[in-house]
Every structure is written in structure tokens, then in C-alpha cells.
Structure 1
Amino acid sequence: MSREQRVADAFVRVADTLTADFDIIDLLHTLVTECVALLDVDAGGLVIADENGDLQLVASTSEQAQLVEIMQLSAGVGPCVDAFTTGSPVTVADILLDGDRWPAFQEAARTQGFRAVFATPMRLRGEVLGAMNLFSVEPGGPTEADAVIAQALADIATIGILQERSIRETHILNEQLQRALESRVLIEQAKGVLAATASLDMDEAFTTLRDYARAHRMPLRDVAEQVAARTLTGIVNTTSPRSRIES
């Protein structure tokens, strides 16, 4: 498949989440997953401002990226925070050499094996909702084409969220954003259940949850809630060596 076709498919997959059954958590996970799959990066994370304006982690593609994002938010400084605050992309081509303005972020990224990061804001006409971090294990910034694609995909997701705001009352959108944050907690609980009962690592556990939700046309939150409550079992492929989830 050509790069042009892969880019087109990524835009279609992001846009496909903007349906009547609008699910912010699925939209944001799709955005960061597609960027990592398409661009020359190794992991990604996405933060969104809650109703109080505080950034919260809502999507990541690996445990390593999640840990770096959590440390960044705890410190209150870092490339993603700067991208959100300024509304402009932030590139750190070599975190070890150029990341010392954010010591906590620099150390967390080094510990998790990341050498470069590109942070792009989720913005539209001056309104910034959050930011996305794309991590690389090798030093070097994104190509101009990759930076444009990442921003364009983020813009589509932002337009979708803001369009939802124009259709519904603002307080309803805030409730949805809060629900997205709560969904994150349920997803982490469900990942833990799968990791403990099916001998999966945390990344495999998330992939299992998401694949099941899509295959059965269920919201990811609902699947996670049922797995966490142990009311949904057996979602791991029975042909796999790690074949069963015990109740």
C-alpha cells in the first residue's frame, strides 16, 4: 500500500469515529493510534483539558508513553504542556541534549527509552482542547510532511469535538469529557484484570479490549466496565496460548 493510501485510510478511520454514536474516548484513541502507525514514531499519548482546565491523560499507545505523560502532568511542565499552553507544536529532537528545561520529563523519557518527542496541539481558531505527544526511541525531529499529517489528523479530531459542542449544550460536552476521563480509569482496571487472568502484558490487554469492542459494536467503556466487574469473560481468542480469562 502506498503512503498516500495509508494517509487517506488514516483520515477515514479518524473521521469514521465522528458518527451518531459519538464516543470521545474512541476518537482520541483512534487519533493517537493512527499517528503512531502512520508516522515515523514509536509511541504516543494524548492529554485533554477537563472542565477545570487541568490536563488529563486520556489515551496512550504503550505503558511507557503513559508513564512519561503521567510524570509530565504531575510536574506540570513538558513539551505537551507547552503545546497546549502556546497552541503551537513543540519539537525536541534529542531529549537528552535539549530536554533539560523540563528535568522531570527528561528523566521520565530517558528511563522509558525515548530520545525524541513531537507535541502537537489540538486546536481550532485559537481554541486549544489538549495536545498529543509522539515519541521516538531514536533522536531526530519529524519530517515536514509528518508534522503536517499529525497536525491535520489532530485538527480533524478537534473539529469533531467542537462540532459536538455546537450541537449540544456546553455542559453536556463537559460531562462527556468527564466520562472520557472516567472511562480511562475503567480501562486501566480492565487491563489489570486481563493481565492477571490471561497472562497478557498491559499493551496486549488494551488491544484485546479494543478489538472486542469493535468486533461486537460496543463502546470501549462498556467492555472495560464489564471486564473490570468480571461480568464479561472469555474475550481472549480461545485459539491463543493465553486462551482464557478465569472468572
Structure 2
Amino acid sequence: MTSTPAEELAETLVELAAAMAEECDLDGFLRLLVNRSVHVLDVPAAGVFIVDHGVIASHESLLPVLGYDESPLLDCCRDGRAVAVPQFTAGSRWQAFTDGARRAGFASVHVLPLRRHAETVGALALFRDTEGTADARIAQAVADIAALCILQARALRRSEELAGQLQHALDSRVVIEQAKGVLAERLGLEMSAAFTALRNYARSHNARVAELASSIVDGKFDTNLLRS
């Protein structure tokens, strides 16, 4: 049974959300985004530009076009508003971009912001080989769910990085405490004095306290070198 446009749109939104949730692979997600955009929005080609990441396109011929320093994609990212160019003509404000798109066989472009509230993370460009624009409501719906997925993935990645940093700090603290105990026993020091000796040796030898502590706990370091 053939799906209706509404069903295809719903399937696309669900597929995009699931892809980012399951893999958190931004490049793979963006390739899925441009390919599904071509299908559900009935355009011959699509490209996406992500701030601080780069470009992905459904056609290789579009990659150099998306990379121009002046383009409706960059204006869309900067202003957070859609940009429609229903006809590529001479005298365009983005002449290099429009000339490159025309050489690639396209006649118009509709650029939608990948935006969530006040934050714009990129832009989705829908290229047509005829004059005109894409269905703005459907196109923006696809762009909105894509932006939400990207921002959630970034938030998750930052959370995981923070958790990793906290765990590393905790692990380092445990090893340092163990090393202090070793030094206190072997050198006859108070725990505070043991830490002072550990820290001073690390500083004077341009070493990390946690790494030195680990060597002491593992028995790889001669603790007599810390005797004052």
C-alpha cells in the first residue's frame, strides 16, 4: 500500500529521532536527513550545513556549492530565518553560490534553519531543478525535528563527557589516598606530610600527582626517593 504524504512525513520524523537516539552518529544522521528530505519533500537534491561541523549533501556535485563563504545557508544560520531563492539569476547577492548551483543542474533553492528556540545549529537546503520553492510547512517540520535531535545528542555527549571527567577525578583521588597510605607507612609520615612529599616530588619532576601516586601503589616507584 502506498503511503500518503502525511504518513511519509510521520515516518521520516520518527526515523530521524530514532537514528540519533540509537547511534548519536552525527554524520550518519545528517546523511539520513538529506536523503529523507529528498524523498519526503520531493526535491532532486538536498544539503545540510552544521555550524562548527561542515556540510553533507545528497549529491557530491553540491559539496563545493555548500562550502562557499557567501551563501543563503550561512545567511540562514546567522539570521535564524528561512531563505527562498525561487530562481537563480545573474546579479544574485550570492553569485558564486548560484553560479555553482546552476552548473550542478539546479534552478532554485529553499533553505530552512535547523533551529530550536533561539539557537540555530545549521541549515537545510532543498535544491530544485525547476523554479519555485518546497512546501515550507513540511520542510520546516523536518528541519525542526532534526535540530531537536542534534541538540539533544550534543547535550547527551556533554553529559557523558562530564560524567567521565568526574569519574576520572574520583579515581585519581582514590589512588592518591592509597599512595598517601603507602608513604605514611613506609616513610613514617603523617598523612598530610605524605601528601606534601608526593605533591612536591611531582612538581619538581614535572609529573602528574595522580600518575605518580599510581606508580607508588603499583610498586613501580622507589618511595625512598621521597625521603626528605
TM-score of the two chains, using structure 2 as the length reference: 0.65
Compared CA separation, residues 48 and 100, structure 1 to 2 (3 A): same
Q: Does the 8 Å CA contact 1:45/1:61 hold for their aligned counterparts?
A: yes
Q: Counterparts in 2 of 1:1-247, with a 5 A limit?
A: 1=2, 2-50=4-52, 56-57=54-55, 59-70=56-67, 72=68, 76-96=69-89, 100-142=92-134, 146-169=135-158
Distance 1:67 1:165 in 2: 27
Q: Structure 1: which amino acid aligns with 2:86?
A: A
Compared CA separation, residues 103 and 4, structure 1 to 2 (3 A): same
Residue 99 of structure 2 aligns to a residue whose secondary structure is helix
Q: Structure 1: which amino acid aligns with 2:13?
A: F
Deviation at 1:40, TM superposition (A): 2.9
Residue 46 of structure 1 aligns to a residue whose secondary structure is strand
Deviation at 1:56, TM superposition (A): 2.0
Deviation at 1:171, TM superposition (A): 9.8
Deviation at 1:79, TM superposition (A): 1.0
Compared CA separation, residues 20 and 106, structure 1 to 2 (3 A): closer
Q: Structure 2: which amino acid aligns with 1:60?
A: A
* Residues 36-86 of structure 1: CA deviation (Å, up to 9, x unaligned): 111131101111111xxxx621x110122223213x2xxx11111111110
Distance 1:170 1:114 in 2: 42
**Residue of structure 2 in register with 1:191 after alignment:** none
Deviation at 1:148, TM superposition (A): 1.4
Residue 149 of structure 1 aligns to a residue whose secondary structure is helix
Deviates more, 1:21-30 or 1:113-122: 21-30
Deviation at 1:19, TM superposition (A): 2.4
Of all paired residues, the percent bearing the same amino acid is 35
Deviation at 1:164, TM superposition (A): 2.5
Structure with max Cα Rg: 2
Residue 91 of structure 1 aligns to a residue whose secondary structure is strand
**Residue of structure 2 in register with 1:200 after alignment:** none
C-alpha RMSD over aligned residues:
2.1
Q: Which runs of 5+ in 1 are unaligned?
A: 174-247
Deviation at 1:167, TM superposition (A): 2.9
Distance 1:168 1:63 in 2: 29
Distance 1:171 1:12 in 2: 24
Deviation at 1:116, TM superposition (A): 0.5
Residue 45 of structure 1 aligns to a residue whose secondary structure is strand
Q: Which runs of 5+ in 2 are unaligned?
A: 163-228
Deviation at 1:172, TM superposition (A): 5.1
Q: Does the 8 Å CA contact 1:96/1:110 hold for their aligned counterparts?
A: no
Deviation at 1:168, TM superposition (A): 3.5
* Residues 105-154 of structure 1: CA deviation (Å, up to 9, x unaligned): 12111111111000111111110111111100111122xxx211221112
Residue 46 of structure 2 aligns to a residue whose secondary structure is strand
Q: Structure 2: which amino acid aligns with 1:140?
A: G
Residue 123 of structure 2 aligns to a residue whose secondary structure is strand
